[in-house]
Amino acid sequence: MPITVDIDVMLARRKMSVGELADRIGITPANLAVLKNGRAKAVRFTTLAALCEVLKCQPGDLLRWETEDTAGQ
């Protein structure tokens, strides 16, 4: 998929665990893992906004587009 999710990068920068982030944004760790690992088919804007608020970042810090040629490399 040409959309890459960089939640793990922001978690590392903020020294925060997946469990702590899930608690703070109000979703289960399992659902956050699906999003974090790029297996989600969609993300609600409310979830994206909560991620940005807690991680103090912009949506572009969490999601990036890559061409099909470079995705997965």
Q: What is the pLDDT of residues 22-51, one digit of tens each?
A: 999 999 999 999 999 999 999 999 999 999
- pLDDT of residue 70 exceeding 80: no
pTM of the model: 0.86
- pLDDT of residue 16 exceeding 70: yes
Q: Kindly state the percentage of the chain with pLDDT values over 70.
A: 93
Q: What is the pLDDT of residue 69?
A: 73
Residue 71 CA to residue 73 CA, distance in Å, equals 6
The DSSP call for residue 12 is H
CA proximity to 26, closest of 4, 8, 44:
44
Residue 36 CA to residue 24 CA, distance in Å, equals 15
Q: What is the pLDDT of residue 68?
A: 78
